[in-house]
Structure 1
Amino acid sequence: TELMIRMKRFPILLLLSMALSYAFPVLPDKENGEENTQLVQYLKSFYELKTDQTSLAWKRSTNPLAEKIKIMQDFFGLKVTGKADSETVEVIKQPRCGVPDVGLYGMTLPGWKKPKLTYRIVNYTPDMERTDVEKAIQKAFQVWSSVSQLTFSRIYEGIADIMIAFGRGVHGRCPRYFDGHLGVLGHAFPPGNGISGDVHFDEDEDWTFGHALGLSHSNDARALMFPNYKFIDPTQFPLSPDDISGIQSIYGPSPNSPNKPDKPQLPKTCDPKLSFDAITTLRREIMFLKGRHLWRVYPNYSEAELELISTFWPSLPSGIEAAYENTNDQVLFFKDNKFWVISGYEVLPGYPKNIDVLGFPRSIKKIDAAICNRNTGKTDFFVGQKYWRYDETSQSMDKDYPKQTADDFPGIGQKVDAVFQHNGFLYFFHGSMQWEFDPNAKRVIRVLNSNSWFNC
């Protein structure tokens, strides 16, 4: 397994999602050369890029480096360009597992030849109480044993099947090493003798384990075996269908649990009564949010991709009520009287904050919708039948607001559930309907079903 115990800010966080985590620190934007160097190192670590393949790689139109980039982009569901575009760079900066992304479940790693396994905690981290470490590790094993025929028992001396240890730098006889804070977070080894099956955590992290059972990485971002780090509370969402399918394909299902996991109920994309909680643009995409889910739409493409919000932003709550992309390519998400600012896949430090820091009176308890005009740098916030205008540059509310929505947006007389801009037009949503509004003519052009963007 890959159990990760990231536990400084949260009492006990189990991250059963990686063979532990190879992470590149999130660095400030610098020269492209530094990002290229990072990408080369990433591909060498996780996609078998050879050192002699990189010498002229950036100067060729077709080269081994570009091919490895394409493989990596395809694995993570990115647009396959073979280039170090912004989305690719964001992915390589995410904390992740130290095991290469080779194969899917059951394809490359053998399992244990026995269902009853032992584990031993060799040492402890000073960041946590010993009892908390023990409970976290016990809980992590229970997550897997609850859906498979595996059982785990702890021993206190001698050699266990799975030896769990904390270390830093070059540690013991391990062939891998740790490189300090925010580098390699940890690693695990596939089943077998000797070091095989063992799990190591980097003591230089602030400390929170899965390849040790024989599972390789999944490209399902909801799975615990997805290589990139994301916070998951095992008490709320322990294993995805892909995780369970993988472990059961090796060891069989637990006699005490159903073979198939309960799946969260999915919203029906082409339901004529479909409505949305919030909508935002994100670079070239439009994201439609509802409950725990979002649809990703690339204009001019026919298919909408349904995902969990937690796939992209694990720390966001479900039921986001408003969202918009600002002039700095950041996305702001609102729920109740709080908001989060997202840059790429990261929540900026210090968030969530109360909406009154934007200039709203304390009587305003929630935002219904928001949209930023990137040309003017002004953001309109819709609350009930009124709207406020916010200056992104001065970070203050414009004077003489709020105003009545219907006065400045004729034909939009109802509460706005969501709004976004595309090709110069505004699209206002309420319930299962949307209104296409021409801001130059100041009139509604068309009335459509809310899910018309989904090719229904």
Structure 2
Amino acid sequence: MQDGARKHTWKEQNSWVSPSVNTLESGVPSKGFSQDTEGQAAHWNPPRCGVPDVPILPDGQNGRNRQKRFVLSGGRWDKTDLTYKIIRFPWQLVKSKVRRTVAEALKVWSDVTPLTFTEVQEGRADIVIDFTRYWHGDNLPFDGPGGILAHAFFPKTHREGDVHFDYDETWTIGNNLGTDLLQVAAHEFGHVLGLQHTAVSKSLMSPFYIFRYPLSLSEDDKQGIQYLYGKPKLEPEPAPTPTPTPTAEPPQPDIETNEITNEESVQPDACDTDFDAVSTIRGELFFFKSRYVWRLRGGKLQAGYPALASRHWQGIPSSVDAAFEDPLGSIWFFQGPQYWIYDGERRVSGPAPITELGLSTSPVQAALMWGTEKNKIYFFKGGNYWRFNPSARQVDNVYPRTMADWRGIPQEIDAAFQDEIGFAYFLRGRHYWKFDPVQVKVLEGYPRQISQDFFSCTPSSNSFR
């Protein structure tokens, strides 16, 4: 049997109908799938997983009725102590949280079986988890934001244990502002252990994905996995510990999407604009302008951008004056006299006054993570700059100092960032300057056009003024 018939693919619509529902996609156009999915499914063809389900036979055929029963893939692991390894991580989430979420998703299955799961970071592992993109070696390419979310391979296939997540999705934990990693991972692990889709609604192994907390197995899920691996070794089964509700902001009815609204009918053109802020976040470069953001990875603009910045950071201000990621992975945004802090895509504090940071002036025009250890942070305003200590959340009291320290940089700048090699970039208007950290001055040949070098636009005939 070909790979395509032995894998599982989870899809969502490119345009969400409900902010609390990620829908699956069939081979025909669909209007979407809302919270009352189970009641509507009988009346129209809802979006669903692209893998064909095992047919439900009428009563009396083959000696039993398969309706309302778990479905098996035909394979199982020959052991109960399994190891797993995470190869790559999503950019929105810090590694420690991804590891905890993966462990929690696996625990859903180990709580009701003799199975154990142990993470290893080196060597071979039974279950290999990867966040990857587009063509990635299994002839089942991902398709960028939206569309295919993840796929997994069943036991007893040549790729058994492989679980792939689309790196380009908006991964979240414990909220419905993107695609919830916990629920998708638990579903995929059911496949990697040998379960197919079930026709029982509200089961974890249903092909329809609905944001629902707390995460738990239905009786059908439980019977299916115990059919393969048995009950836990210790009897009687311990009472299940309630899964704590993640500390996330409650769903909001006015969640923004990536659609153009009447507030701003035309997206800004990267070839014909300046930028409010630029920052390197999770190793990728983000350009901010008004409500929009461009995302560059490896120097290449990613598909689907510009997008609303609120697509990644719910509650972000309508425009950003400055942004940076601190050494611990927290993302700071500044707008006017206030600042916000995010953990990946989840807001953890703010808005708060920048006076708390020891700054008596606003707005912050630019923020720069600087130094070989990327442990120095500078704020820029007018012709001055301050050094900031993120652990103490205070600027050093010997500052501000003048921009003359940065030889060749204009007195006032709009944005700043550091690349992976260590060069600093300062932006003003539609031009930028590249700053050498060794010679401590601007390189020859600058300023250059932002649009040309970062967005491959046709060079403008306008000279720098």
Q: TM-score, normalised by structure 1?
A: 0.52
Does 2:114 align with 1:59?
Answer: no
C-alpha separation in 2, matches of 1:181 and 1:295? 31
Identical-pair percentage:
23
Match of 2:369 in 1: 372
Match of 2:324 in 1: 324
1:43-54 equivalent positions in 2, closer than 5 A: none
Match of 1:191 in 2: none
Match of 1:162 in 2: none
Deviation at 1:449, TM superposition (A): 0.8
Q: Is the 8 A contact 1:39 1:89 kept in 2?
A: no
Change (3 A) 1:91 1:447: same
Q: 2:441 aligns with which of 431, 443, 446?
A: 443
C-alpha separation in 1, matches of 2:369 and 2:142? 35
- Deviation larger for 76-85 or 88-97: 76-85
Q: Is the 8 A contact 1:418 1:430 kept in 2?
A: yes
Match of 2:396 in 1: 398
Change (3 A) 1:319 1:439: same
Deviation at 1:80, TM superposition (A): 10
Deviation at 1:365, TM superposition (A): 2.5
Change (3 A) 1:278 1:88: closer
C-alpha separation in 2, matches of 1:55 and 1:324? 35
Deviation at 1:29, TM superposition (A): 7.4
Match of 1:35 in 2: 101
SS at match of 1:387: strand
C-alpha separation in 2, matches of 1:275 and 1:413? 16
Unaligned stretches of 5+ residues in structure 1: 6-16, 44-51, 102-173, 186-203, 207-227, 242-259
C-alpha separation in 1, matches of 2:175 and 2:326? 26
Q: Can you list the C-alpha shifts for 1:64-123, whole angstroms capped at 9, x where unaligned? A: xx979976986478899976789699825142389x99xxxxxxxxxxxxxxxxxxxxxx
Match of 1:417 in 2: 414
Q: Is the 8 A contact 1:303 1:454 kept in 2?
A: no
SS at match of 2:171: helix
Change (3 A) 1:394 1:77: farther
Deviation at 1:313, TM superposition (A): 1.1
What residue identity is the alignment partner of 2:450?
Answer: S
Deviation at 1:269, TM superposition (A): 2.2
C-alpha separation in 1, matches of 2:105 and 2:143? 10
Q: 1:91 aligns with which of 154, 163, 171?
A: 171
C-alpha separation in 2, matches of 1:4 and 1:32? 21
Q: Is the 8 A contact 2:340 2:350 kept in 1?
A: yes
Q: 1:428 aligns with which of 422, 426, 429?
A: 426
C-alpha separation in 2, matches of 1:409 and 1:59? 52
C-alpha separation in 2, matches of 1:239 and 1:447? 33
Q: Is the 8 A contact 1:289 1:320 kept in 2?
A: yes
C-alpha separation in 1, matches of 2:375 and 2:430? 30
Q: Is the 8 A contact 1:296 1:306 kept in 2?
A: yes
1:333-344 equivalent positions in 2, closer than 5 A: 333-344=333-344
C-alpha separation in 2, matches of 1:41 and 1:91? 20
Match of 1:164 in 2: none
C-alpha separation in 2, matches of 1:303 and 1:86? 14
SS at match of 1:414: coil
Higher RCO (CA 8 Å, separation ≥ 6 residues): 1
Q: Can you list the C-alpha shifts for 1:260-308, whole angstroms capped at 9, x where unaligned? A: 989731111222xx20000111112100000010100113436573211
C-alpha separation in 2, matches of 1:42 and 1:308? 35
SS at match of 1:35: helix
C-alpha separation in 2, matches of 1:176 and 1:421? 47
Match of 1:119 in 2: none
Q: Is the 8 A contact 1:182 1:205 kept in 2?
A: yes
C-alpha separation in 2, matches of 1:440 and 1:79? 44
Deviation at 1:230, TM superposition (A): 6.3
Q: Is the 8 A contact 2:366 2:381 kept in 1?
A: yes
Deviation at 1:447, TM superposition (A): 1.3
Unaligned stretches of 5+ residues in structure 2: 1-16, 22-31, 38-91, 110-114, 131-135, 153-161, 185-199, 205-209, 217-243, 458-465
Q: 1:183 aligns with which of 190, 196, 214?
A: 214
Q: Is the 8 A contact 1:289 1:295 kept in 2?
A: yes
Q: Is the 8 A contact 1:95 1:182 kept in 2?
A: no
Q: Is the 8 A contact 1:277 1:321 kept in 2?
A: yes
Change (3 A) 1:2 1:396: closer
C-alpha separation in 2, matches of 1:403 and 1:448? 26
1:337-356 equivalent positions in 2, closer than 5 A: 337-348=337-348, 350-356=349-355
Match of 2:78 in 1: none
1:189-228 equivalent positions in 2, closer than 5 A: none
1:179-328 equivalent positions in 2, closer than 5 A: 182-183=213-214, 231-233=252-254, 240=259, 264-271=265-272, 274-301=273-300, 305-328=305-328
Change (3 A) 1:74 1:29: closer
C-alpha separation in 2, matches of 1:296 and 1:429? 17
Change (3 A) 1:366 1:381: same
What RMSD in Å do the two structures reach over aligned CA positions?
5.2
SS at match of 1:270: helix
- Paired residues in the alignment total 293
